[in-house]
Amino acid sequence: MDILYLNAKDIEQIALTDAEIIGAIEDSLRAQGNGQTSIEPRVHINPDPAYNGHFNVLRGYIAPKHVAGVKVVGDYVYNYKLGLPSELSLLNLFDPETGAPYAVIDATAITSMRTGAITAIGAKYLAKKENKILGHLGCRGTAFWNVVLLDSLYDFEEIRINSRRQESMDAFAQRLEDRLHKKITITKNSQECLEGADIMVEATRLMEPQPLLRTAWVRPGNFVVPYGTICANEITLTDVMDKIVVDDWGQCKEGGKLGSLSPHVRAGKLTKETLYAELGEIVAGKKPGRENDQERILFWHRGLSTNDIALGQLYYEKALALGIGTKLFYR
């Protein structure tokens, strides 16, 4: 019995298109909306506070894809000082009938891609049809694919970015300009970045809560995506929204320390009753998404195991077809 191992270079060589990435994640959301997935609560491993990081363990199953999977991802805020991505990840894929493993995949890039894809798919169903300005707060690893995949849908006239470190903003802007062939605007602060934007994304990496996304900046028609690890918005943000959508209420309802809207869950502002829908329900056609251009809609995603698994499965299938990867003897 062999296992196919796909390393970072293999993932890069396979080179999925933007449409393929979005399509794989959209399929997994549709399966979720139709009750054809199993998404177990994520668990955390906290080795030592001195390391300034933790592990997330995500587990899930997608019936239409006939695949189960487990992803372990380290989330270490100061990895940039070592020249490492803040999130390093491995994804294991299994036959759901026998439990036999058949793939081990470097999922570092996959984590960023699926995060960007879920942001873009949220916009596809929840944002206005025409959006000219994107405001993106944070230059973390997942930020690149947020901007790239959103721009693939809307071809923005203006893309604004902001982050705490000038060097990260400069590098991020250059990488985006090289990919998108358009000017990226580096802003002075979060207000200049977000206020007046059609789509507002908060993807920061704070150590302590700080209100960088102000409720007063949200206008009719805005699509707002706050998903930073630590809350970077005001407790009043949920009060002005016409609809609040999440990727999975089971993960969002925990109300622990981590998660952009965890204070809102703890305060009773976001509950099962005030939640409009899970995105999968909308993708599956069970509920309508945006219904007019005046709605203020918030989408909070925490990251789903099934999104990782769906994208990993596509990479696995592509690798087999292209003869890419390394076979490892298992038993």
CATH code of the domain containing 7: 3.30.1780.10
Whether residues 78 and 157 share a domain: the answer is no
Strand order in the sheet with 243-246: 184-186, 158-162, 133-137, 199-202, 223-226, 297-300, 243-246, 277-278
Q: Are both 34 and 176 inside the same structural domain?
A: no
183, 43: one domain:
no
For the chain, what is the domain count? 2
Per-residue pLDDT tens over the stretch 177-226 = 999 999 999 999 999 999 999 999 999 988 788 999 999 999 999 999 99
| Domain housing 98 | 2-110+306-329
Same-domain status, 200 and 286:
yes
| Residue 129 and residue 253 in one domain | yes
Residues 265 and 138 in one domain: yes
Do 138 and 227 belong to one domain? Answer: yes
Average pLDDT on 167-176 reads 95
Query: What pLDDT digit, counting tens, does each position of 309-324 carry?
Result: 999 999 999 999 999 9
Q: What is the pLDDT of residue 255?
A: 64
Q: Which residues pair with 137 in a beta bridge?
A: 162, 202
pLDDT tens for each residue of 281-290: 999 999 999 9
Question: Is 204 in the same domain as 164?
Answer: yes
Q: Is the pLDDT of residue 41 over 90?
A: no
- Tell me: do 65 and 100 sit in the same domain: yes
Is residue 251 predicted with pLDDT exceeding 90? no
Same domain as 273, residue 133: yes
Q: Which of 53-67, 77-91, 249-263 has the highest mean pLDDT?
A: 53-67
Same domain, 310 and 256: no
pLDDT at 66 over 90: yes
- State pLDDT tens for residues 113-130: 999 999 999 999 999 999
- Residue range 256-266, pLDDT digits in tens: 677 899 999 99
**How high does pLDDT run on average in the chain?**
95
> CB within 8 A of 94, min separation 6: which ones?
67, 68, 69, 70, 100, 101, 102
Q: Provide the token pair at 69.
A: 């999977």
CATH of the domain at 256: 3.40.50.720
170 and 245 belong to one structural domain = yes
User: Residues 232-257: what's their mean pLDDT?
Assistant: 91
How much of the chain exceeds pLDDT 90, in percent?
Answer: 89
